[in-house]
Structure 1
């Protein structure tokens, strides 16, 4: 069969309004297919759909050409389900305010076709500008990209201040409704170019007093279907990179304040980190809890199961809490308190502040992972400096943490550190250990790797349950552990970051994850230099060679305002985007 190539300059149009076609006729078709619709769902302005016009289209491949000689091409196949879902060919990865060249090959009625489109995209901008803004968009500084990593794409889950401030609050001084910042979510390539952008106005309303339209958009987590899960305030979501939602749901009645994490289970159910409204404490007080419940919600929106950590763990353990840096507790940053420890008052008001007891931020669960081998969940509890595995029976399987402060029942679940030969490593109750072993401190993202190990971002605040003499003595690590459940032991098998010292220190947020396709440890330090005045907070994307620990990728991204952290970053796998 003879192949042919058509070059088309298409005037891309925005998603059509519900108006009469007789008054506003549709744009003419482009090539052998239909129209080109930019931003078809009103969510992702750097995406488009080439409509198939009910034609018999199959075997689709898309290449969005890079800008200039060093520009990064983005290429992917489009499966039949994606063609049906979007009623056309999805185009992802275009540059902003640019006439993008997009090459599309496919079969039309079984005959091969190749076409080249020129698609104009709009400019992107930050709506949340005010007197604290440092730039229109986040600055990107590419430090290093090793050969073989040029086609990597990184989704950055970041924030900016709401110009109106966090003006939402509950009627009583409880809950976490004030946990509220406008989103900055985008994809950056290895040339530092934006290749995807979440329209802030599409999902967040800075002027609304409706809490369902506010909150901190957090926890972008890739699924194996090319989608991402995330949470914002009172809702949880699953969305593809075109902006098409497969889940966009309000939390079940009786729960509130979804933040940090939602993860999809193999059966399609969603695990969501939330809090309980109107919780009856043992002393008879009714409170809204803080970041201490895990919900399992099925695909019909029904609540299947709940892990109430107030009953499973010990909300009165304060050993870690009293050692925290008061200057940075999650995304609550106060530069004047840097280096000072958090003051814990037993009769402190209930609400979103570090403290002991149900109704205060005693647990601060910031990640969830699911272990299908035994139907259990793995949690990162920042304010307990602990990685914890809990079974379906609501009983703790094991704890990776220092021994101090656990009650008798939970102390039996704390794993014993060992070396590579299985020999016990001596540690103090506060977690100072012999050799190279260390626990994680105010950590984030305890993820089960493809090797069966646990990877954790060890932020490093309150290390060994104390503040050092100087803040510059702090450091952050990517760390990996191997757990032997039968023996009740834990071995540290890999670490990186201690040698980079304070310049790599990220007190809050951040992520690390092993990547088998490149044999690298991917990580993102989301709050470097968060206390530094006069600049945006530095976020550092890294990929570290697992065997040699050489830096393969290092890219810095900056927030548009000072003292605002990024949250996480993720790798966007081109091959999985739309390949059913």
Structure 2
């Protein structure tokens, strides 16, 4: 049996071989072409022809998956056009079929490159490609200096003509982007490169100073920095920095007719659908955007009687949990009250499905009037008695923080479960919900000064002006302890002994106890002290912790915010990045995430 194998041969040589075969046939019986539908099935399944060979009186076509064996009597001509990744097969009845085939260079697939397609994201582009057949594109923006700066994403789209999102471009740089063409499972078929030149970011953009970075010890991803501009009601400028401290994504919404006054406060949160949601303190609305800054949906909550304050997060059921002020809420004396309502909002029906009034759970008369050292906008008052600043879920319950009252958990029915807070001034009705601190050995702390918050123990302290409670597991949480007026002493105008912490608490709801398991930040002093804003994040892949003091933090030069990643087992700092701005606002919150959402 003679076998002739045809891999990637020049078209003229292959034509000669096949033409010779066709001319030497002696059988003049009419031939019926039966293989056309089999070829079409392979094409419909998005399979490339890798090679073909002659085996006796048949041709064997080797596809990425499977073979086709076709009588040489059916085929008149085979012409590989490898620079276009296709093979033209002419049958004996002169019918033809073009079969997508493994070829050479892929430069021809790029039809168009559009940098900053919306006008709001100068570090993003869309690339239109025409592929030989169905498949996916794996995008890699190559790092400036080494592979640690590479940003790679395998896109979901599988059609032959598609628009590829390119995210993670460097500003003011001639970026190199690799486009790898893969099969539906992500196996690479070939690749090409393109160049995209970007412009510089505005001169007013925050500055980044990398203190240290050990990428091999860090949680993968970039850092979403929710920079709130010169104030909480200024235009927000969310951006992302990588593990080298380079900005790789930014939304500059000043020219957006719909979002040019977006004051996103806590900032952008990624949804399960891959979009961003944010509250707008200026317009009292909720907005949903894509990665390019396109406004997808918006909801006016002022029409429903609410003013947005601080945080929005997506619940497990897809609804939004939002900190708000109710426009009609009053104290018992008729005075207005603010920042003490949490709502659950159904985005599909644009309706509030649940409202929790914190005055029904916590005593609104528990007040600690600030001294003259605390700026009035940050001091407690009868109107702003709670200052609810964070909300999330703990299992089926709601977990939240109030700057002036502590960390608390309650059921969806509005029943209080527990409170982590200094025991001072709580009413008899609420005392049963106060968790009692225990030391590192599990012994109850009985020192009344510690219980009341007048002093801190060696291995336990309360969270002062807390933010961002984060669930690690069913009984462990992380909290950002701002150190706001720690031990009831104003610390806004003083320096030297101030500090903020990330603290891990272990909660025993049966015994009504709380134990400080781990903390970080005290030894950093003023270099990590943020009396307001800020956040923490548990990083599940490495089990590291992100500690992010965001306001008026003392930097190497100036003030701003700091992003610190810590291994809590060794206390090693594996990432430390300073972000400075003229206002001293570094960010409201920061979160580690993949640059690309999983949905695109």
Q: Distance in 2 between matches of 1:219 and 1:199?
A: 14
Residues 1:137 and 2:205 are matched in the alignment: yes
Alignment of 1:42-81 (within 5 A): 42-52=119-129, 57-69=134-146, 72-80=149-157
How far has the Cα of 1:413 moved from its partner? 0.7
Residue number among 254, 258, 261 corresponding to 2:304 in the alignment: 254
Partner of residue 157, structure 1: 226
| 2:59 corresponding residue in structure 1 | none
TM-score (norm 1): 0.76
Is 1:525 the counterpart of 2:578 in the alignment? no
The partner residue of 2:374 within 323, 326, 331 is 326
Q: Distance in 2 between matches of 1:324 and 1:565?
A: 25
Aligned to 1:567: 588
Equivalent residues of 1:218, 1:232 under 8 A apart: no
Per-residue CA deviations over 1:90-132 (Å, capped at 9, x if unaligned) read 111011233221112234799934221212334332xxxxxxx
Structure 2 equivalent of residue 115 of structure 1:
192
Alpha-carbon distance, 1:236 to partner: 1.9
- 1:545 deviation in Å? 0.9
Q: How does 1:129-278 map to 2 (within 5 A)?
A: 136-149=204-217, 152-161=221-230, 180-202=233-255, 213-233=261-281, 234-245=284-295, 247-251=297-301, 253-278=303-328
Tell me how large the CA RMSD over aligned residues is.
Answer: 3.4
Q: CA deviation at 1:204?
A: 8.1
Work out the CA distance in 2 between the residues paired with 1:325 and 1:549. Answer: 34
* Separation (CA, whole Å) in 1 of partners of 2:288 and 2:234: 20
1:505 lines up with 2:505 in the alignment: no
SS of equivalent residue, structure 1 residue 526: coil
Matches within 5 A, 1:75-94: 75-80=152-157, 88-94=163-169
Distance verdict in 2 for CA 1:63–1:361, change over 3 Å: same
CA shift in 2, pair 1:421/1:192, >3 Å: closer
Count of residues paired in the alignment: 492
Which residue number corresponds to residue 99 of structure 2? none
Matched, 1:406 2:423: no
Matched, 1:355 2:432: no
Q: Is the 1:324–1:462 Cα contact (8 Å) retained in structure 2?
A: no
Check the 8 A contact 1:539/1:558 in 2, yes or no. yes
| 1:43–1:370 Cα change, 3 Å | farther
Question: Do structure 1's residue 291 and structure 2's residue 339 form an aligned pair?
Answer: yes
1:494 aligns with: 518
- C-alpha displacement at 1:325, in angstroms? 4.8
d(CA) in 1 for partners of 2:192, 2:443: 63
**1:181-232: per-residue Cα shift (whole Å, max 9, x none)?**
22232111222221001113155889x8xxxx45354333344554443222
Does structure 2 retain, via aligned residues, the 8 Å contact 1:419–1:491? yes
Deviation at 1:394, TM superposition (A): 1.1
Q: Deviations over 1:395-424 (max 9, x none)?
A: 211100011111222222111112355321
Measured in 2, the distance between the counterparts of 1:313 and 1:183 equals 32
Structure number with larger C-alpha Rg: 2
Tell whether the 8 Å contact from 1:509 to 1:565 is kept in structure 2 after alignment. Answer: no
2:485 to 454, 457, 462: 462
Q: Deviations over 1:470-499 (max 9, x none)?
A: 532111111011111122111111101112
Give the alignment of 1:331-480 within 5 angstroms.
342=379, 354-356=380-382, 360-371=383-394, 373=395, 375-384=396-405, 386-428=406-448, 429-431=451-453, 432-450=455-473, 452-467=475-490, 470-480=494-504
Aligned counterparts of 1:59 and 1:450: Cα–Cα separation in 2: 37
For structure 2, the residue ranges without an aligned partner over 5 or more in a row are 1-48, 51-63, 65-80, 84-105
Kept after mapping to 2: 8 A contact 1:325/1:462 = no
Q: Please state whether the residue corresponding to 2:310 is helix, strand or coil.
A: coil
Cα pair distance change 1:303/1:197, threshold 3 Å: same
Structure 1, gaps ≥5 residues long: 7-28, 126-134, 163-178, 331-341, 343-353
| Secondary structure at the counterpart of residue 454 of structure 1 | strand
- Preserved CA contact (<8 Å) 2:264 2:278: no
Larger relative CO (CA 8 A, sep 6+): 1 or 2?
1
- The DSSP-based 3-state class of the residue aligned with 1:502 is helix
Mapped contact 2:265–2:588 kept (Cα < 8 A): no
Instruction: Please name the residue that 1:311 is paired with.
Output: 360
Aligned CA distance change for structure 1 residues 202 and 290 (closer, same or farther; 3 Å): farther
User: TM-score by structure 2 length?
Assistant: 0.74
In 2, the alpha carbon distance for the partners of 1:205 and 1:246 equals 11
Distance 1:433 1:522, change over 3 A: same
Asked if 2 retains the 8 angstrom alpha-carbon contact of 1:99 and 1:119, the reply is yes
- State the distance in 2 between where 1:80 and 1:255 align: 41
- Check whether the contact 2:440–2:459 (CA below 8 A) recurs between aligned residues: no
> After the TM superposition, which parts of structure 1 deviate over 6 Å for at least 4 consecutive aligned residues?
3-6, 108-111
Instruction: Give 1:307 deviation, angstroms.
Output: 1.1
Partner Cα distance (1:396, 1:482) in 2: 18
Paired residues of 1:5 and 1:115 also in contact (CA < 8 A): no
Q: Contact between 1:221 and 1:228, CA under 8 Å: does it hold in 2?
A: yes
The 3-state SS of whatever aligns with 1:31 is helix
